[in-house]
Amino acid sequence: MSTLSMHRQQQQQQMVSKSLTLPKIPQNLVPVVHILTSRSENDVGKKDEPFPFEKIIKFFRDSQTSHLVDRRIRFCQKLYRHHRNGYNSKDLRHLMKIFNILADDCEEQPLYINPFIEILKNCSKPFLLDKSTDAEIYAPVLISFYSDFGYLLRIPNKRIQQCILETLYKSSQLTNKSPIDENDYDGIRPIRMDYLLRLQCHSDLCETLTKAMSFFENDLTLRIYVVKLLQIYSSKSSECVARMLTHDCINRLLSKMNDHDPTGELLFRTIELLWNILEQCDEEQISDQLDSRVTISLLQEAFIGQATQTHNQYHCQLRNDILIVCSLVMGLKSDAPVIETGFAKQLLLFASYPEVRSNNPLVKNYKFTKSEEDFEFKKLLINTTVILSRNPMMNELITNSRVILALLSYIEPLPRKKSPGINTFEWSLSQIEELQLHALTALSILLPNSLNEYFEYHTGTRLLLFYEWTINDDEFKSQGNSFFGKGGRNNKRSQLKHILKLFRSIVSTKDERIFMDLCDQGMIPLITGYLRRLIQEKSMSMDTVDLDIICDGLFILSCVAESDVHRKEIFGSEGIEILIQILLMESSHVCGGLGYYRLLVAAIDCVWCCVVGSVINEDEFIQKQGLFALLDLIESNPKSLQNIILGCLLDLAENLKCIHFLMAWQGHKQQQFVHVLCELWRDEEREIYVSRTARGVISDPTKPLMGALQQSVPIVPLKRSEPSRSVLDLIDNMRSKIYGFFCKIGFGQLPGLHEEDFVTLCIIENFLDFKMGEIWQEIMTELEMEGTKLISTDTEATDTILQATQERVLAVAATQNYILEQYNKQDLQEEKGFYDDVRDKTLV
């Protein structure tokens, strides 16, 4: 081959190789893959050898090695060094076996105590897992380990017991961190502390520690550690509290609570633990432990000790905490022996001080300050008084302590006027304002049970003077910071809201003497005048405080005027204008629509009590179209309100002028009142599933009025005072009220009725007869169930009544069918006439 041909062949091969070569990727475009690992190259290949637990356990259990104390101690030291970062969860069963062996050996050989304490301390560190997903797998093992770990307190050695308690306390702290990094993806990982704490709560530690308090009665340090641990567990789980109470935890805690403690930590921790228990316990479970004079006496001793020795802020806070615990005890057990121990009398003495002076040595030299702790103490005393009043036996003590007079001393205009020349303790203005609201709330609970004190202290005059101050235009810059001061910043709305609530609670007693006292001092014009002004100002926008004020005012007026015509006349035209404005108000203007129905119910109740029964008020209410406002509400409101409105209208219809206005009214769809009543009747029967045909005819002659719910209630013999299911049916639905309206209006010559209305009217007209037959049927059934046989004349009478009722039902059903046939014939005749007219026009 020539040199030229060889050269050409080489060039062709080079060109082919270039075409097959892949393009070279620049180095900066090569993707970098990061390996998820925390180990360095030097650590690869290194692996910790497992600790020989089985070998050591076998060695420790061998009786022939019991004399090799030094060697055993070296094994313990090796165990401590090997697990300096914490124990692995998979080794806990073996570890507990070693703990139990050493626990027995420590009693015989004290040299084991120090190494045993060292390996116990390692348990304070988070336990380790090979995989983070193994936490749930080892949960039963951890729970069992913690239960057995608590049982080690049986060892009669204070150093070991203290080490166990310290270890448990450290392991329950969420701030306790493991030496191992949690981001070590390749190695073992520590368990989260919150998970370990949850497992401790599921173990038997609570029961063990509760029982251990009896062993540590004379050891203050260990007892404090036990209480601290129980405090942590009780705050995390109600199950722990339940298990603690099964072992008489309350009495064990309180028995040594007042022992001498220079640090004061035991009492503080005990009170905190009691607080947790009382908030999370079951009332039935704890009631027996609280119903003890010893328990109440110990709490009394702790409270009096702190209340009379309040030298610094710490003692004042502890005093307040003890009082909170006492109030929780009295709240859970209202009949706790606080009267028998004298504790209630002492609490009421503190509650009435310094407003009511006393020579009792307990408070004679007691000094209140304006500090936050003393201010909180005063509020807690008022709250405790309210809790004590739940026990009817406390009424006499409350009267003798004059605590109501002390609370009434706050019910005066602010700022207070100081008496010249008298040096008395005074709270700051913001504190007095908060105590005033607190006192108003407490009096609304206490005064209804202390009516004699109401008249003795001239309470009505005090309250009305304070009410006049709340509604006048004098400026008052209220702080509005307290719980009861919501919505009352820079105004007097909070005071007005709570004084009306106090009036409401007083008039709810229905005591005529109170009504006379308040009305003689002009309460009705005061309330109506302010409500009229408020509604005019807030007609387009009303908040929750305004709603509370208006509803409470209307309720007070309803109570005082319900049974007295003269008071209804005092309510007069001003009150009627208020009611009509409320009835015409749009729902969106009342708290965004959320409080509309509440306001409406209060207004309807006020119409019922303050208008109905007074001819003057009824005539004015009708003339100002208040009747039309009520009728309009029937169309636009749900059934629950329709029932109330119909009841009010039915009583108002006793006035003969009302009937004309009822018949003249037309709804939004130009519907007459009688048509609306028939519609309501049909809606009522559809709701209770009364048996009717598609066109409203009676389909079951034996049950012309009975609904499905009434049928589902079995007939049983009843006591004389108990109503039967047929009588209850009259209360539950509106059919009896609709029947009452037709009895006043009449059943004939009614305008605005449709075809279905005439069918319904047949049933309404015979409602009373059908209901009487239904009740007679119940009577006969009950007599048969009781085995009572009637004499022949009674049997004949009852058979006649039942037979007449059934015949009446069949006759009504026939009348209904006849009405439908007549309407059907009329429709056919009108249709025929229409086609005849069409035919005549086409022929022309």
What does the H/E/C string look like for 214-274? HHCCCCHHHHHHHHHHHHHHHHHCHHHHHHHHCCCHHHHHHHCCCCCCCCCHHHHHHHHHH
Instruction: Decide if 768 is inside a domain.
Output: yes
> pLDDT at residue 422 above 80?
no
**Angle ∠(60,63,67) on CA atoms, nearest 5:** 80
Domain range for 319: 292-401
Q: Please check whether residue 461 is in contact with residue 523, taking contact to mean a CB–CB distance below 8 angstroms.
A: no
β-bridge partners, 88: 128
DSSP summary character for residue 419 = P
The pLDDT value given to residue 404: 95
The pLDDT value given to residue 225: 94
DSSP summary character for residue 672 = B
Segment 5-15 shows an average pLDDT of 51
Segment 229-233 shows an average pLDDT of 94
Instruction: Decide if 192 is inside a domain.
Output: no
Write the CA distances from 829 to 47, 834, 836, integer angstroms: 106, 9, 10
Q: Read off the amino acid at residue 639.
A: K
Instruction: Decide if 86 is inside a domain.
Output: no
H or E element that contains 693: none
DSSP summary character for residue 189 = E
DSSP characters over 307-357? HS---SHHHHHHHHHHHHHHHHHHHH-TTSTTTTTTHHHHHHHHHTTTTS-
The structure's pTM equals: 0.84
Higher pLDDT, 164 or 25: 164
Look at residues 358, 377, 401 and tell me which one is the last residue of a structural domain. 401
Within 8 A by CB and 6+ apart from 329, the residues are 278, 290, 295, 296, 299, 336
Segment 548-555 shows an average pLDDT of 96
> Taking Cα atoms as reference points, which of 609, 537, 617, 612 lies closest to residue 574?
617
> pLDDT at residue 29 above 80?
no
Average pLDDT, the chain: 87
- In sign, the C-alpha dihedral spanning 59, 65, 70, 71 is negative
3-state secondary structure of 790: coil
Percent of the chain with pLDDT strictly greater than 70: 92
Q: How far is the C-alpha of 711 from the C-alpha of 709, rounded, in Å?
A: 5
> pLDDT at residue 53 above 70?
yes
The pLDDT value given to residue 185: 45
Domain count within the chain: 2
Confidence of residue 86 (pLDDT cuts 50, 70, 90): confident
Instruction: Decide if 225 is inside a domain.
Output: no
403 burial via Cβ count (<10 Å: 0-12, 13-18, 19+): buried
Cα-Cα-Cα-Cα dihedral of 496, 497, 499, 502, to 10°?
Answer: 170
Q: How far is the C-alpha of 348 from the C-alpha of 305, rounded, in Å?
A: 17
Other beta carbons less than 10 A from residue 394's beta carbon: 23
Q: How far is the C-alpha of 269 from the C-alpha of 380, rounded, in Å?
A: 20
Q: Read off the amino acid at residue 285.
A: Q
Instruction: Decide if 738 is inside a domain.
Output: yes
Higher pLDDT, 292 or 13: 292
Other beta carbons less than 10 A from residue 461's beta carbon: 12
Least confident of 109-113, 449-453, 580-584: 109-113
Segment 306-317 shows an average pLDDT of 85
Q: Please check whether residue 769 is in contact with residue 678, taking contact to mean a CB–CB distance below 8 angstroms.
A: no
Q: Where are the alpha helices (DSSP H) in 427-482?
A: 429-446, 451-456, 459-471
Q: Please check whether residue 374 is in contact with residue 396, taking contact to mean a CB–CB distance below 8 angstroms.
A: no
The pLDDT value given to residue 35: 44
Q: Read off the amino acid at residue 338.
A: V
Q: How far is the C-alpha of 124 from the C-alpha of 86, rounded, in Å?
A: 8
Look at residues 383, 401, 419 and tell me which one is the last residue of a structural domain. 401
Instruction: Decide if 81 is inside a domain.
Output: no
Q: How far is the C-alpha of 443 from the C-alpha of 722, rounded, in Å?
A: 37
Q: Give the pLDDT confidence of 274-293 residue by residue, as tens digits.
A: 999 999 888 888 888 888 89
The pLDDT value given to residue 461: 95
The pLDDT value given to residue 173: 87
The residue count for the chain: 844
Q: Please check whether residue 578 is in contact with residue 531, taking contact to mean a CB–CB distance below 8 angstroms.
A: yes
Segment 192-203 shows an average pLDDT of 91
Q: Give the pLDDT confidence of 487-536 residue by residue, as tens digits.
A: 778 788 999 999 999 999 999 999 999 999 999 999 999 999 999 999 99
Write the CA distances from 6 to 1, 9, 227, 703, integer angstroms: 7, 5, 102, 120
Tokens of 355: 């407003």
The pLDDT value given to residue 48: 56
Look at residues 401, 436, 469 and tell me which one is the last residue of a structural domain. 401
The pLDDT value given to residue 521: 95
Segment 259-267 shows an average pLDDT of 89
H or E element that contains 110: none
Tokens of 822: 């007549």
> Taking Cα atoms as reference points, which of 340, 367, 341, 449 lies closest to residue 403?
449
> pLDDT at residue 545 above 70?
yes
Report, in angstroms and rounded to the nearest whole number, the Rg of the chain calculated over CA atoms: 43
Instruction: Decide if 324 is inside a domain.
Output: yes
> pLDDT at residue 186 above 60?
no
**Angle ∠(177,183,184) on CA atoms, nearest 5:** 100
Tokens of 300: 């009394």
Tokens of 644: 């109330």
Segment 411-432 shows an average pLDDT of 78
Instruction: Decide if 180 is inside a domain.
Output: no
The pLDDT value given to residue 764: 94
Q: Please check whether residue 256 is in contact with residue 218, taking contact to mean a CB–CB distance below 8 angstroms.
A: no
